[in-house]
Amino acid sequence: MQIRDEVFDDRAAVFALTHAAFAGTDPVAEPAEVDLLRNLFTDPGYDPHYSLVAVDTPVVIGHVIATWGSIDDSKPVLGVGPVAVSPEYQRNGVGSMLMQTLHDRAQAQGLPGIVLLGDPKYYGRFGYEAAAKYGIVPSDPSWGDYFMVRVFDEATLPAGNFRYAASFAC
Ligand SMILES: CC(C)(COP(=O)(O)OP(=O)(O)OC[C@H]1O[C@@H](n2cnc3c(N)ncnc32)[C@H](O)[C@@H]1OP(=O)(O)O)[C@@H](O)C(=O)NCCC(=O)NCCS
């Protein structure tokens, strides 16, 4: 298994695996995450450096994306999501490798932290903590402790009101 940058030709596979990973009981209904991804790929917050695929050559089996949001409309901060692994490849460490590679890149670029909305039971294992602890406030207060930050450098981490890339529409 290999993690590499997503390229345009991966996108059909990325949409398909995201559909499969987020599918509800109706197999025909498209999960909202697929449309979100479609929009994120043309969003001004899209950054190819932070869209990664996991490949079991030649099959694309996982994808993670982080896009640029902002704090107080002025300080750029990456927001993670969606992340998805093909159902038949889940629980083999693929999601963890995608997250780890994303974090390595963010750290190598000197970013102070990265945020996401997700389940603390899963993301806690990657060092995510409640963003409120660091004064980072989500656009929807009901997210509570599900809105989290992975801190790389507390001294330079901005506090304030976080807003995701426009495609999230929240
Ligand atoms: C979440 C997801 C990306 C994890 O990918 P993965 O390759 O299965 O992850 P890993 O193999 O690295 O880790 C698996 C572990 O995560 C746990 N896990 C997965 N989803 C979880 C969740 N929502 N809450 C808590 N734990 C979760 C599994 O129970 C497993 O735990 P274990 O190691 O103690 O057995 C994958 O399960 C997926 O695509 N899920 C559907 C889409 C989704 O919910 N995406 C995340 C929200 S954006």
Please state the length of the chain: 170
pLDDT at 47: 98
Is residue 108 within 8 A of residue 153, CB to CB? The reply is no
| Residues contacting ligand 1 via CB (< 6 Å) | 21-22, 81-85, 90-96, 118-119, 121-122
* Shortest-distance Cα residue to atom 5 of ligand 1: 95
Residue 58 CA to chain centroid, in angstroms? 23
- Which of 3, 89, 90 for mutating ligand 1's site (highest number of atoms within 8 Å of CB)? 90
Apex 36 CA angle, 1 and 109, nearest 5: 55
Mean pLDDT by 10 residues, the chain (170 residues): 97 97 90 97 98 97 98 97 98 98 98 97 97 97 97 98 94
pLDDT attached to residue 28: 86
CA distance 115 to 17: 23
* Residue of minimum CA distance from atom 15 in ligand 1: 91
Please tell me whether residue 26 adopts helix, strand or coil conformation: coil
Whether residue 99 lies inside any domain: the answer is yes
pLDDT at 157: 98
Residue nearest to atom 22 of ligand 1 (CA): 122
Tokens for 52, please give them.
């990664």
Residue 169 lies in a domain: no
pLDDT for 88 equals: 97
State which residues form the domain around 43.
2-163
Residue 52, pLDDT score: 98
Determine, yes or no, domain membership for 156: yes
How far, in Å, from the CA of 109 to the mean position of ligand 1?
Answer: 26
Question: Is 67 among the domain residues?
Answer: yes
Position 27 scores a pLDDT of: 80
**φ, ψ of residue 67 in degrees (nearest 5):** -125, 160
